[in-house]
Structure formats: C-alpha cells, structure tokens
C-alpha cells in the first residue's frame, strides 16, 4: 500500500501547556498564598500560646520539685535529734564545740547531694555556740530583720523570703521557719535555693518568663535583666488583675503599651505553705509573632515569584524542544506504521523519548532494588529499636538513685529514733555511711586509710549483727598512707565470717593488720574460725599461685585483680589449720600518697 505523505501539523501543544501552566499554577498559588497568610498568622499565635503554656508548666513543675526538696530537707533538720542536742547543749569549751561540729555531717551532706541548695543557715539562741557549720548565734541586728521577726511570728510555719543572705549579702530565695523543742524556742532555720538551679530551670524557656513572690514582685526573670522591674513594669498591672483559675493556670491576650501580648500565668502550689504564693508568668508580644509571620511570608512570596519566573522560562524552552522532537518521533512512527523501517536507530537527545524501554527497564530494576533495600533497612531499624529498648531496660534496671537510697535510709533512721530504737538507728546510720562511701568509690586506687575505715564500718555492722559472738581489731604499724586497689579487703573479711566464724560455736575473733616490709605493703586478715581441711587448702593455694579462676569468688577475684594491676609478684596467700583458724596475706607495692607533689 502506498504510504501517505507525512503532513506536519500545527504546533498547538506549546500554547496549551503554557496556558495550562499559568491557569493551574499561578491562580492557585495566589489563592493558597492568601489562605496560608491568614492561617500562618493564626497558627503562629496559637503555637506560641501553647509553647508559653508548656514552658510555664514545665518551669512550674521543676520549681515545685526543687522547692519540695528544700521543704523536705527543712523537715529532716527540724526533726534531727543530733542537731537539737547541739542546739540545747550549754558548751563550756571550744574543744567540745569543735568535736560536735566535726561529728555532725548533715549540713555538708545535704549541700553535697542536693544541687537545689545554696546554703543552710541556723540562727540559734544558744550563745555558747560558734559561727561555723552553718550555725550562727543570733545577733541583735539579725533579730531586728523583718524576715526574722516574721519567722518567729509564724511559730514554726514555713515562709518563703527573697532577701540578701545575712552572711554573704547575696540575694537568694530562702525558706525560713522558727524551730522549737516543745515550747522552748531554739532559733530560726533558713534554707536557701541556688540561683544557678533556678536560672537553669528558667533557661529551658524559649520566650520571656518571670517568677513573682507574694505581692506580685518579680524575683527572677529570663532572659536575665539587671533591673527586673524595668522589663516587668509594662505587664505588672495586667498580672495583678488576673485571677488564676482552679487548675492554677490562666492564658490570655492583653493590650499593653507596645501592643497585644500573649501571656500564661501558673501558680505554684507549694506543699505545706499557706502564707506564700509564687507565680510563673510566660509572655510573648503578639507583634513579635506577626512580625515573624510577615517576614516568613514576605520571603516566601519573593521565592515563589522568582521560582515562578524561572520555571515559566524553563517550561517554555522545554516545550519548544519537546514539541520539535515529538514531531520527529511522530514522523518515525508514521513511517513504521506504513511499513517503512528505514528510520534512524536513534534520534537526537538522551532523554526518555530516545531510550524509553531502557529507562523503563532500569526504572524497574531500580524500584526493585529500592524495595529490597527499604525492607532490609526497616528490618534493621526494628532490630536496632528492639536492642535499644532492651539496653535501656537493662540500664534502667541496673541503676540506683543515690538520693533515693540515702533518703530512704534517713527516713528509717528517723523513725527508729522516734520509736526509741537506737540500735536500729545506729545500724541504719552505719549502713548509710557504708553505702555512701561505696557509691563514691571509683575504679582507680584509693587510700589505705579509707579502705580500713570502710572495713571498720562493715565490721561494726557484723558486730551489731552477731553481738558478743564476735570481736575484731584493726592495727597499722606506720603513720604514712598508701594507695591500694579498692574492695580487696572486704570480700576476704566476708569470707572469714561466712566460712570461718559463722560455723564456729565458740566466740570468734578477726584481726586485720597493715605493715610494711622494705618496698612492700603487707595486709593480714586472721580469724580463729574452723579453718580449712588440708586437701582443700592445698587446692586453694595452687589456685592462687597459678592465678586461676575458682568458685571461691572472693579469693580468686582479689588475687587476679592484684596480679593484673600490679604484676605477678604480688597477690594473695592463704594459710590455715583445721579447727584453729585461717590467715590471709595480701602483698602489694608501696605507693605512698605525697600531697606536696599533687599525687
């Protein structure tokens, strides 16, 4: 059949695509841009309002927790019988005062473990005391201070005061209360919150925030201001008129000198406090929000206009070239349709028109590979998430909060004292010190003196446990102090109790001695327990010489640690006679602590 001649049609696709582009893109952009302008402003205002609420709620929660800890510490000090004993004692010598101050560690412990505290000061009526340890005899100047008089008038009730520290003159937020023993007035206790802690809490806010006390006077602000009243002044009247609702929070938009302002006020419900009120006030001017929105919209409109002009130019160029190549493709397809296969193997260009099938095939392969990779990635991600959750669970399960342990033991000790059970209180007190020292240990070396003190506390607990059944002695024939690995004495002393003393019917005794020989430190642990059978002793001695692991965890673990840390010439040796007792000898290198060299 004779092929019809190819007729080139008029190119209308170019005009249609350009018209469609303008109608479909430009008009919707204008309408959507107008709608987004309104929505963006409203959403920004709403988002900022919610952000203020969340910020103030978080700050209120953090401050509540910090202030609750301060109140809790105040209660402990109020009930502490050791502190009351010091306050009520009429001292006749400075040595007695120094001795009691040295033995009383509660003030320093609380300041060490609670970062909410700046200081603890107790202004006492006992004139025989000295100004130290946080105890200060009350002077006439102090008695004339308004905060002191208010604390006395409240008869033991809590009062929050923002005032200068009576000693350092630094402005601080104080919890004050008068302390009585029955009807006897002992003095006024003040516990100061750390300004750094409060600043850290406020710094989590992304917008300006104020904290007010009682009569709406601002005491802290973020960002920090040299003169808080200058920055707080425009909002003072508005805040005073606002009544916080039952849920302790209010959010509102008000007009001030510079325009509308979004603010959120939260009242801090401080436990056990009836005569003080604190508020957290978060705010952001609406003009600032709208200025941000207008800037974002202006930049967006400019970008959209530039993009529209560039895309229109590019589209026109593309359509012109695309239309010309489509006509050539149409001509080639027409030839093939009419049985004319004498067409070029390729046409100009390197896009989809010249290589559709190959591109489709490559696309199929790429898509298949992408699906496999995505599936593998998702599977790996799920496995990773599972492992992460398991690790977090194991980590969480292995952690013990020192605050929780210390507070719980302190609570048990106080209850035991209130119940007149001083033996239980003494056990808890020793155990608390023992745990605190154990928590403070690191993996490096520590002084022999500290290790012997740790062992002595452990032996005190065993003594309280077994009573007159056991006795112990600790000796050291030198004055110097040396560095040793931690936890090498306690497991061996515990072995002496478990395997030597406990099975024995008669009274048991443990002797711990420290001596030195040339350049070696010798630590001796002797007991008069049931001893070790000859065959079993021989196996133990071989195990220690060869530094092998064993089911006797204390001996093998200590021996291996010493040899790995100090060398094979040091370690543990054991000697024993059945029914007579056991002697364990630890040999270490002399490593003296030289304070003048900073070691």
φ, ψ for residue 201, nearest 5 deg: -65, -45
pLDDT digits (tens, 9 = 90+) for 318-361: 777 777 666 665 665 565 455 554 545 455 665 556 664 344 34
Q: Could you count the other beta carbons within 10 Å of the beta carbon of residue 116?
A: 22
Give, in order, the Cα–Cα distances in Å from 460 to each of 49, 52, 527, 567: 60, 55, 16, 33
Confidence of residue 582 (pLDDT cuts 50, 70, 90): very high
pLDDT at 442: 54
Contact 269, 64 (CB under 8 A): yes
Higher pLDDT, 288 or 579: 579
Whole-angstrom distance, CA of residue 200 vs CA of residue 198: 5
pLDDT digits (tens, 9 = 90+) for 6-30: 444 555 666 777 777 777 777 777 7
Q: Across-strand partners of 593?
A: none
**How deeply is 182 buried, as exposed, middle or buried, from its count of CB atoms within 10 A (0-12, 13-18, 19+)?**
exposed
- What percent of the chain is predicted at pLDDT more than 70? 70
Q: Could you count the other beta carbons within 10 Å of the beta carbon of residue 335?
A: 15
Contact 188, 138 (CB under 8 A): yes
The two structure tokens encoding residue 349: 């260009």
The predicted model gives 286-312 an average pLDDT of 75
The two structure tokens encoding residue 259: 């325009």
The predicted model gives 552-581 an average pLDDT of 86
pLDDT at 400: 45
pLDDT digits (tens, 9 = 90+) for 167-215: 888 889 999 989 988 888 889 999 999 989 988 888 888 778 888 887 6
Q: Across-strand partners of 171?
A: 164
The predicted model gives 63-87 an average pLDDT of 88
The predicted model gives 74-79 an average pLDDT of 89
Residue of 208, 201, 144, 204 lying closest to 173 (CA atoms):
201
pLDDT digits (tens, 9 = 90+) for 129-154: 888 888 889 988 888 988 899 888 88
pLDDT at 450 over 70: yes
**How deeply is 92 buried, as exposed, middle or buried, from its count of CB atoms within 10 A (0-12, 13-18, 19+)?**
exposed
- pTM (2 d.p.): 0.46
End-to-end CA separation in angstroms for the chain: 107
Whole-angstrom distance, CA of residue 26 vs CA of residue 155: 76
Residue of 66, 77, 278 lying closest to 189 (CA atoms):
77
Contact 6, 331 (CB under 8 A): yes
pLDDT at 533 over 80: yes
pLDDT at 465 over 50: yes
Q: Across-strand partners of 162?
A: 173
pLDDT at 551 over 60: no
> Crossing angle, helix 422-440 and helix 448-466, to 10 degrees?
150
Q: What is the overall mean pLDDT for the chain? A: 77
Q: Which domains does the chain have, with CATH numbers?
A: 9-306 (3.30.450.20), 469-597 (3.30.565.10)
For the CA atoms of the chain, what is the radius of gyration? 40
Whole-angstrom distance, CA of residue 421 vs CA of residue 489: 31
- What percent of the chain is predicted at pLDDT more than 90? 10
pLDDT digits (tens, 9 = 90+) for 231-246: 777 777 677 666 666 5
């Amino acid at each position: 059949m004779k092929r019809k001649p190819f007729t080139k049609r008029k190119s209308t696709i170019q005009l249609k695509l350009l018209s469609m582009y303008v109608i479909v893109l430009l008009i919707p952009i204008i309408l959507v841009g107008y709608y987004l302008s309104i929505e963006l402003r409203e959403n920004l205002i709403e988002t900022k309002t919610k952000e203020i609420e969340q910020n103030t709620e978080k700050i209120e929660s953090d401050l509540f927790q910090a202030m609750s800890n301060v109140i809790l510490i105040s209660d402990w000090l109020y009930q502490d019988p050791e502190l009351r004993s010091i306050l009520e004692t009429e001292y006749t010598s400075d040595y007695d005062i120094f001795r009691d101050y040295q033995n009383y560690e509660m003030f320093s412990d609380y300041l060490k473990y609670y970062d909410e505290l700046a200081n603890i000061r107790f202004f006492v009526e006992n004139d025989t005391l000295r100004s130290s340890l946080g105890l200060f005899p009350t002077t006439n100047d102090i008695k004339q201070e308004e905060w002191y008089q208010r604390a006395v008038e409240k008869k033991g009730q809590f009062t929050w005061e923002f005032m200068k520290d009576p000693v350092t003159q630094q402005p601080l937020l104080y919890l004050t209360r008068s302390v009585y023993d029955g009807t006897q007035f002992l003095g006024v206790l003040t516990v100061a919150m750390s300004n750094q802690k409060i600043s850290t809490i406020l710094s989590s806010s992304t917008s300006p925030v104020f904290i007010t006390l009682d009569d709406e006077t601002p005491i802290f602000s973020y960002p920090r201001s040299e003169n808080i009243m200058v920055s707080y002044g425009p909002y003072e009247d508005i805040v005073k008129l606002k009544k916080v609702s039952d849920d302790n929070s209010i959010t509102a938009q008000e007009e001030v000198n510079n325009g509308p302002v979004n603010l959120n006020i939260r009242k801090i419900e401080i436990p056990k406090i009836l005569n003080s009120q604190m508020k957290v006030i978060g705010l952001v001017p609406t003009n600032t929000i709208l200025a941000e929105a207008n800037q974002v919209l202006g930049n967006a409109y400019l970008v959209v206009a530039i993009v529209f002009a560039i895309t229109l130019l590019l589209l026109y160029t593309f359509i012109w070239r695309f239309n010309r190549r489509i006509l050539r493709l149409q001509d080639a397809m027409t030839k093939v349709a009419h049985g004319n296969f004498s067409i070029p193997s390729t046409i100009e260009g390197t896009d989809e028109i010249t290589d559709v099938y190959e591109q489709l095939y490559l696309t199929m392969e790429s898509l298949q590979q992408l699906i496999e990779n995505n599936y593998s990635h998702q599977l790996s991600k799920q496995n990773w998430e599972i492992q992460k959750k398991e690790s977090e669970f194991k980590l969480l399960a292995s952690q013990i909060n020192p605050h929780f342990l210390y507070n719980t033991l302190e609570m048990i000790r106080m209850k035991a004292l209130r119940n007149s059970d001083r033996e239980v209180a003494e056990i808890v007190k020793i155990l608390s010190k023992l745990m605190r020292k154990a928590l403070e240990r690191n993996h490096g070396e520590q002084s022999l003196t500290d290790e012997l003190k740790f062992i002595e506390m452990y032996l005190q607990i065993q003594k309280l446990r077994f009573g007159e059944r056991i006795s112990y002695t600790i000796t050291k024939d030198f004055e110097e102090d040396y560095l040793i690995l931690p936890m090498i004495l306690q497991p061996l002393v515990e072995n002496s109790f478990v395997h030597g003393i406990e099975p024995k019917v008669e009274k048991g005794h443990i002797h711990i001695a420290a001596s030195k020989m040339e350049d070696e430190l010798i630590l001796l642990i002797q007991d008069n327990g049931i001893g070790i059978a000859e065959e079993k002793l021989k196996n133990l001695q071989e195990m220690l010489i060869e530094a092998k692991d064993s089911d006797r965890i204390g001996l093998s673990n200590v021996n291996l640690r010493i040899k790995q840390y100090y060398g094979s010439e040091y370690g543990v040796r054991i000697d024993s006679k059945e029914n007579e007792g056991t002697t364990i000898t630890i040999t270490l290198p002399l490593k003296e602590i030289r304070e003048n060299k900073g070691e």
